[in-house]
Amino acid sequence: MNKNTPSLEQQNFIKAHQKKHVLINVYRIIIFFSFFGLWELCSAYRIIDPFIFSSPSRMIKTFYTMLMDGSIFYHTGITLFETLLSFFVGSFLGVVIAVVLWWNQTIAKVLEPYLVVLNSLPKTALAPILIVWLGNNMKSIIITALTVSIVVTILQVYNGFLNVEKDMIKLIYTFNGTKLDVLKKVVIPSNVPTIISTMKINIGLSLIGVIIGEFLSAKAGLGYLIVYGSQVFKLDWVMMSIIILSLLATGLYQFIVWIENKITKY
């Protein structure tokens, strides 16, 4: 028998794991189609008002109409661009500020209460002020999204830096290493999983921040479609935009997972 050949117990375990994985996917598909099927039936038989609650078939028709005139690409593209820009800027600045706080504990202690207050402050309260200060434009939407995500990034990454194993830091100093060496060779490498984990949270928060901004000041985007659709009672637009947002959030999260897999492979 080849030494590389899995044992019978290992083969059974692998088969059981694969079967469980398939069953989970099957259950997910059943729940998905059951939900939308029940929604369609309730709407068709007037158990719910299709004008207020819309229906899957009405959303598909609305999506097809907007697909033909290209408007759905425009609105989705605006939201996606704002989300990605705020995400990358927020992640970069968050990590940089976390490094500064780790490097200088005096600055960290001075800013800590302010960061805690900013983190607990409802960002919807800041959005109208930012719009007044910055104007009714894309800049105010991106800054709103940054206020939602950047503080979380700073706190998460900074706490990760503080929890680095002390013995590894002492080892660097034992070999006459500098604080910069500690940062490059210990702190940053050991916190790559923390940074990736924070990015997974950050991408969702960036999308939330963008939608908050679009609710208040946008002239385009999925948030704009939701607000405008509710104002003119085009609920098909509202429900379709919410479904697209759900798919967009899932796709962005999987994008971060793909980055994580690429990084951990090496």
Instruction: Give residue-wise pLDDT tens across range 33-90.
Output: 999 999 989 988 888 888 888 888 888 898 898 888 888 899 999 999 999 999 999 9
The answer, yes or no, to whether residue 160 has pLDDT greater than 60, is: yes
Residue 3 counted as domain residue:
no
Average pLDDT over residues 120-133: 78
Nearest to 141 by CA among 153, 126, 127: 127
User: pTM for the complete prediction?
Assistant: 0.82
Tell me the C-alpha distance between 53 and 248, whole Å. Answer: 22
Contact between 225 and 72 (Cβ < 8 Å): no
For 135, the 3-state DSSP assignment is: coil
Residue 58 counted as domain residue:
no
Regarding whether 171 and 82 lie in a shared domain, the answer is: yes
Q: How crowded is residue 228: how many other Cβ atoms within 10 Å of its Cβ?
A: 16
Residue 2 counted as domain residue:
no
Q: What is the pLDDT of residue 187?
A: 86
Contact between 181 and 237 (Cβ < 8 Å): no
Average pLDDT over residues 100-109: 89
Regarding whether 102 and 29 lie in a shared domain, the answer is: no
CATH number for the domain that contains residue 71: 1.10.3720.10
Regarding whether 175 and 202 lie in a shared domain, the answer is: yes
Regarding whether 224 and 104 lie in a shared domain, the answer is: yes
Tell me the C-alpha distance between 247 and 80, whole Å. Answer: 12
Average pLDDT over residues 142-167: 87
Regarding whether 69 and 44 lie in a shared domain, the answer is: no
Residue 49 has φ and ψ, to the nearest 5°, of: -80, 115
Domain housing 69: 63-265
Total domains in the chain come to 2
Tell me the C-alpha distance between 47 and 43, whole Å. Answer: 6
Residue 114 counted as domain residue:
yes
Regarding whether 122 and 35 lie in a shared domain, the answer is: no
Tell me the C-alpha distance between 157 and 99, whole Å. Answer: 8
Q: What is the pLDDT of residue 5?
A: 65
Q: Which amino acid is at 19?
A: K
The answer, yes or no, to whether residue 11 has pLDDT greater than 60, is: yes
Q: What is the pLDDT of residue 229?
A: 86
Residue 1 counted as domain residue:
no
Regarding whether 36 and 124 lie in a shared domain, the answer is: no
The answer, yes or no, to whether residue 3 has pLDDT greater than 60, is: no
Residue 164 has φ and ψ, to the nearest 5°, of: -65, 145
The per-residue pLDDT for range 191-244, each reduced to its tens digit, is 888 888 888 889 888 898 898 888 887 788 888 898 888 888 888 888 899 999
Average pLDDT over residues 7-14: 73
Nearest to 196 by CA among 165, 157, 252, 155: 157
Contact between 208 and 202 (Cβ < 8 Å): no
Q: Which two tokens stand for residue 219?
A: 């002239």
Regarding whether 41 and 110 lie in a shared domain, the answer is: no
Count how many Cα atoms sit within 13 Å of the Cα of residue 200 in the half-sphere of its side chain.
Answer: 11
Regarding whether 187 and 67 lie in a shared domain, the answer is: yes
Q: What is the pLDDT of residue 213?
A: 86
Instruction: Identify the sign of the CA torsion 47, 52, 53, 57.
Output: positive
Regarding whether 195 and 239 lie in a shared domain, the answer is: yes
Regarding whether 156 and 75 lie in a shared domain, the answer is: yes
Q: What is the pLDDT of residue 1?
A: 46
Q: Which two tokens stand for residue 121?
A: 């402050």
- DSSP code of 164? S
More reliable by pLDDT, 133 or 82: 82
Q: What is the pLDDT of residue 174?
A: 81
Q: Which two tokens stand for residue 124?
A: 């919807």
Regarding whether 205 and 169 lie in a shared domain, the answer is: yes
Q: Which two tokens stand for residue 95?
A: 């990590």
Residue 97 counted as domain residue:
yes
Residue 55 counted as domain residue:
no
Q: What is the pLDDT of residue 176?
A: 79
- DSSP code of 176? T
Residue 23 counted as domain residue:
yes
